[in-house]
Structure 1
Amino acid sequence: MNRRSFLKKLIGSTFILLGVSGGTYYYARNIEPSLLTTKEEVITSSKIPTSFDGFKIVQFSDTHLGFHYNLDQFKELVNKINHLSPDLVVFTGDLVDDPNNYEWNSRIIELLQSLNATKGKYWIYGNHDHGGYGTEIVYDVMNQAQFKLLQNNHDVIQINADRIILAGIDDVILGKPNLSEAIKNTNPDLFTILLAHEPDFADTTLQFPVDVQLSGHSHGGQVRLPFIGHLYTPIYAEKYVEGKYTFSKSNLELFVSRGIGTTRLPYRFLCKPEITLFTLKRS
């Protein structure tokens, strides 16, 4: 463990000990996890066709249903997304926390089905979707809810004669991601968006003709401290944790969502849950 990691863990542990019996603990446990925010981002590119100028995409990620996040809260999320009137909805993985032990019912399908997007709803696998024997269960639920799976493949989104590419890869940790296969036979001149659950996959994406990568997985760290930042993020979310990243040797833009739910520990501090509204702008 290097000095920075040691100090972060030491300060983080002290913070938890001091707050465990006070208002900080109560806020992190009971208040902030329910403070769902809408983050707005504008994506500008000369590759965005005229017909897609003003096109709206809503990303939601990492709901982790079953781990201190229930279907009543999920209904509020659905209503918030529909209120934004998106053209496209994308889900970037981890629907439930433990698929094998989750009490599945028709209500989750009905809620997912009620999400409205004029140009479709798409999703990719996260590590929790594959974990706990969830691969087929989650696929069946999302399929019934009229979400289209992108698993090392792509779809063409078209308005009039204009087109963009939406691609997705399998989960990096428990799946078999293959970006070459995902964008096979696509035109590199078309504006291309990639869905990849783990944000650190961006270091691979840099080698391909992809303009935007949308990811989750990190939860933004869940607990962030002033001057210290996040205390912990999972593997493949250690380099890119939350927000927007650009790269000097590539036109790629990476956006990492803090996600909706929590996992491991049911706390959020200075790291509110979020959905993201992206608006495409032709430059």
Structure 2
Amino acid sequence: MKRRTFLKGIAAAGGAGVITGLYTWQVEPFWLEFTQHPMPVRNLPEELVGKTLMQISDTHVGTRFPRSYLVESFQKAQAMNPDFVVYTGDFVNYEDKSQFDQLSEVYDHAVHGKLGTLGILGNHDYGKDWREDQVADRVTDIVTGKGIQILRNQQATVRGLNIVGLDDYWATNFKPESVLSGLDPNLPHVVLCHNPDVTDLPVWNGYRGWILSGHTHGGQCKPPFLRAPLLPVNNKRYDQGRKDLEDGRTLYINRALGHLIQVRFNVRPEITVFTLERG
């Protein structure tokens, strides 16, 4: 190979690397995708057929990326006029008390469902080492004040749909049996559970239905046609999207709206919109 040809090749490769780096840092982390999926729910009342349930997860309000992106994303979601909205944890990326004011500022623009708006906490909502109960309580108070009902091992029936919320697996208040052992089998249920690893635990008491999770961010960076190399779960099958658990349960893992580090490749941020069906 001639020296000039070799240098041109090196320059082209370097240029491609710069472009890819800029894309993963400045483009894809803010390239929001609204994904649409049917959600068949057993025992669903006829009046809820065709209604929409929007899942927003892992906003990670903090200092790691511009909060204006979250506000703009909320505004786009509001334009879809969802019937139900559920938030599946990690409202903040807690570093210090300044996140409380930032959370309040962002969630002044929170997306609300016409029929109901509920959520659960994630591990980051429990502060450092997921052990600061006072942080979780303050996060709960703030988002409750913004019109989001937080379920901490609790259930709430909203317009005929029973929403079950589990507290975070890694944190201090993980008590799934306290709510899963008492579900009425005649009601239509949807379970919110931040960490999808919980689906492998023997706590479900025969539950059959949907489980909505987040936590993984889809790995944030994923080589084409391969699994994401970095996932904060034990079961590496739980990366993103719909998973048939083959026992009557269906898991959906949202890819997250926010991120801990402002880098994404082949894993766009996501807001999920489900259309309710009788199942």
TM-score range, shorter chain: 0.7 to 0.9
For 1:180, which of 168, 177, 192 is the aligned residue?
Answer: 177
Secondary structure at the counterpart of residue 229 of structure 1: coil
Identity of aligned residues (%): 28
Q: Which protein shows a greater Rg?
A: 2
- Please give the residue correspondences for 1:181-200 in structure 2 after superposition, counting only pairs within 5 Å: 181-200=178-197
2:98 alignment partner, SS class? coil
Q: Which residue of structure 2 lines up, in the alignment, with residue 4 of structure 1? A: none
SS in 2 for 1:78: helix
TM superposition outliers: structure 1 runs of 4+ over 4 Å: 18-21
Q: Compute the displacement of 1:182 (Å).
A: 1.8
Q: Distance in 2 between matches of 1:237 and 1:84?
A: 34
One-letter identity of the residue aligned with 1:136: D
| Aligned counterparts of 2:15 and 2:214: Cα–Cα separation in 1 | 28
What is the rounded CA distance, in whole Å, between the counterparts of 1:279 and 1:26 in structure 2?
36
Letter in 1 for 2:144: N
- CA shift at 1:66, angstroms? 1.8
Q: Aligned-pair distance for 1:262? A: 1.4
Determine if contact 1:57/1:90 at 8 Å carries over to the other structure. Answer: yes
**When the two structures are superposed, what TM-score results if normalisation uses the length of structure 1?**
0.84
Q: Aligned pair in 2 of structure 1 residues 207, 103: CA closer, same or farther (>3 Å)? A: closer
- Could you say which residue in structure 2 is the equivalent of 1:87? 83
How far apart, CA to CA, are the structure 2 residues paired with 1:99 and 1:119? 34
**Alpha carbons of 1:184 and 1:155: their partners in 2 closer, same or farther (altered >3 Å)?**
farther
Deviations 1:218-266 (A, max 9, x none): 0000000013220101135633110001122x11110000001111x32
The residue aligned with 2:162 is 165
Give the distance between the partners of 1:208 and 1:116, measured in 2 at CA: 31
- 1:59·1:276 contact (CA, 8 Å) conserved in 2? yes
Deviation digits for residues 83-113 of structure 1 (CA, Å, limit 9, x no counterpart) = 111111111111111252534334234222x
Note if contact 2:42-2:209 (Cα within 8 Å) is conserved in structure 1.
Answer: no
Pairwise CA RMSD of aligned residues?
2.2
Q: Which moved more, 1:35-44 or 1:233-242?
A: 233-242
Q: How many residues align?
A: 259
Match of 2:219 in 1: 221
Residues 218 and 156 of structure 1: CA distance in aligned 2, closer, same or farther (over 3 Å): same
2:236 is equivalent to residue 238 of structure 1: yes
TM, length-normalised to structure 2:
0.85
